[in-house]
């Protein structure tokens, strides 16, 4: 009899542990998704200085440079349900998470443009943050001035690529 009770108790404990892990993973997923959504809202509203503060910084981009580059771009995240679709937490570590998501974009050549890919998120000071490089890339203003000049000169070339 005691073995039956013990085995039942162990089974219940194992189920509880796995369900708790699932709840914790969904809580983290919700936190990461909300953080990304809030960041895209700030970008859409054109609050670039606040956006700069909201991002994980890698590299030497200054606030002034970032704001200027973002103001030059016409690309913005779409509104409402088109902003983020198919959000999925792919991997989560203590200070990093990888998400897969489709982000709707406005201000591009196509009126219904989007980008679907993985994004790295960093947990800094208890907040999940998108990477500055990802935002610049989506906005179409990543890279240095020399590579941008080369891209522009290629566009104006009379010869096909």
CA-to-CA dists, residue 72 to 58, 66, 68, 147, angstroms: 21, 10, 6, 16
What DSSP designation does 129 have?
E
Task: Give domain status of residue 39, yes or no.
Answer: yes
Report how many domains make up the chain: 1
d(CA 128, CA 21): 20
99-149: per-residue pLDDT in tens?
A: 999 999 998 877 669 999 999 999 998 999 999 999 999 999 976 554 443
The whole domain housing 120 covers 2-155
Task: Give domain status of residue 161, yes or no.
Answer: no
- 144 versus 75: the higher-pLDDT residue is 75
- CATH number of the domain where residue 106 is located: 3.10.450.100
**8 Å CB contact between 82 and 104:** yes
Cα angle value 91/96/99 (rounded, 5°): 45
Mean pLDDT of the chain: 81
- Is the predicted pLDDT of residue 153 greater than 50, yes or no? no
Task: Give domain status of residue 115, yes or no.
Answer: yes
- Is the predicted pLDDT of residue 74 greater than 50, yes or no? yes
């Amino acid at each position: 009899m005691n073995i039956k009770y013990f085995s039942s108790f162990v089974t219940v404990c194992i189920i509880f542990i796995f369900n708790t892990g699932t709840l914790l993973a969904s809580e983290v997923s919700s936190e990461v998704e909300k953080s990304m959504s809030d960041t895209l809202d700030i970008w859409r509203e054109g609050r670039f200085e606040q956006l700069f503060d909201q991002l994980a910084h890698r590299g030497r981009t200054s606030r002034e440079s970032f704001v200027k580059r973002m103001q030059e771009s016409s690309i913005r995240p779409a509104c409402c349900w088109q902003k983020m679709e198919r959000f999925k937490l792919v991997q989560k570590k203590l200070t990093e998470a990888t998400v897969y998501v489709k982000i709707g974009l406005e201000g591009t050549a196509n009126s219904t443009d989007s980008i679907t890919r993985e994004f790295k998120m960093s947990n800094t000071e208890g907040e999940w943050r998108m990477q500055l490089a990802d935002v610049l890339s989506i906005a179409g203003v990543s890279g240095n001035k020399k590579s941008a000049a080369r891209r522009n000169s290629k566009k104006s070339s009379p010869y096909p690529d």
